Structure 1
Amino acid sequence: MLRHQLIHPQINGILGTAGHHSSILIADGNYPAATKRGPRSELVSLNLMPGVVTCNQVLQAILSAIPIESIQTMETEKDGPYALEGDPPVWEEYRQTIQAAGLEIDLQPTEKWAFYDAVTTPDHILTIQTADQQRYANLLLSVGVRMD
């Protein structure tokens, strides 16, 4: 019986093979998951209907299961139709979830095309596609080291 919150069998199986520096993408509903992922990445679709499941819910489950050492977000655009001033509201939710997990990790905003480049590396092992409708909700997690 698992002791953490994550109970999805396929995701647990993939995470069980992850090593230090492997990366996991938690993708929002707008992310092009079919084309922007690593060559070894497996795709798990949790997008049941708009807004169900959210990136923050997946983050909470992942943080309960494995050590994470860094988290990148896709930096907001400053002009154009998708521009936002300041941080997207969802980032505050992430900060609260990270703190509730007892971690001291700062979100690392990464320019959009650099974010895509970071996702498409051989270290990227898993993309979890959500139905999150919030803009700039994508997260790229780097697996840490188990210290206990």
Structure 2
Amino acid sequence: MLNKIPKILSPELLKVLCEMGHSDRIVIADGNFPAQSVGKDAIVIRCDGHDVPSLLSAILTVFPLDTYVDKPALLMEKVPGDTVETPIWEEYKKIVGQFDERGEKAIGSIERFAFYEEAKKAYAIIATGEKALYANIILQKGVVVDGE
């Protein structure tokens, strides 16, 4: 165990976050996301008992978002005509705003199948037990500044 590290961050997940370099991406996926098939070339970390907001908050305590891109956090857009509500996106905006001065301006969105293609290039995918629909988010790592 370590001080000041959120307990939800497992040793495996901490190792992966440490291994990642500037501009590497990690996907935090909901329970419906095809993590194993999309993540054939990525490290897939199982966090089935956890929800995305809790993991997002914990990860952002140790993981800087990329300041060299406008939207270092990307959401999967709803399929046109899909009427499902996405209140979880409001949670993401609040969480990102706690850790990045750009707030919700740091969050973008991309079409569903484009999201899958971007996820295939990710360094890692975290498979969660999140039940909310369209709860997937890609984070792009920034530079760790000396002294932070």
Question: Is the shorter-chain TM-score for this pair beyond 0.5, marking a shared fold?
Answer: yes
- Cα distance in 2 for residues equivalent to 1:38 and 1:140: 17
1:147: Cα distance to partner? Answer: 2.4
Aligned residues: 137
- 8 Å Cα contact 1:38-1:119 kept in structure 2: no
1:59 match: 56
Compute the displacement of 1:68 (Å). 1.4
Between Structure 1 and Structure 2, the one with more helix by share is 2
What is aligned with 2:116? 116
Secondary structure of 2:16's partner?
Answer: helix
Find the aligned partners of 1:132 and 1:3 in 2 and give their Cα distance. 25
Contiguous gaps of at least 5 residues in structure 2: 67-71
| SS of residue paired to 2:36 | coil
Q: Is residue 4 from structure 1 mapped to residue 2 from structure 2 by the alignment?
A: no
* Equivalent residues of 1:66, 1:143 under 8 A apart: yes
SS of 1:109's partner is strand
Deviations 1:68-93 (A, max 9, x none): 121000001122xxx137x7111000
Q: Find the aligned partners of 2:131 and 2:112 in 1 and give their Cα distance.
A: 18
Please tell me the residue identity of whatever aligns with 1:54.
D
Partner residue in 1 for 2:43: 42
| TM-score using structure 1 length | 0.85
- Residue number among 16, 21, 35 corresponding to 2:23 in the alignment: 21
Counterpart residue number, 2:69: none
User: Percentage identity across aligned positions?
Assistant: 27
- 2:38 partner letter: K
Once the two structures are superposed, what CA deviation does each residue of 1:29-77 show, in whole Å capped at 9, x if it has no partner?
00001111261x11111113xxxx1111110011001111210000011
What is the TM-score of this pair, normalised by structure 2? 0.85
Q: Closer, same or farther in 2 for the Cα pair 1:2/1:21, shift >3 Å? A: farther
SS at match of 1:24: strand
User: Structure 1 residues 38 and 108 mapped into 2: Cα distance closer, same or farther (>3 Å)?
Assistant: farther
Cα-Cα RMSD:
1.7
Amino acid in structure 2 at the alignment position of 1:61 = A
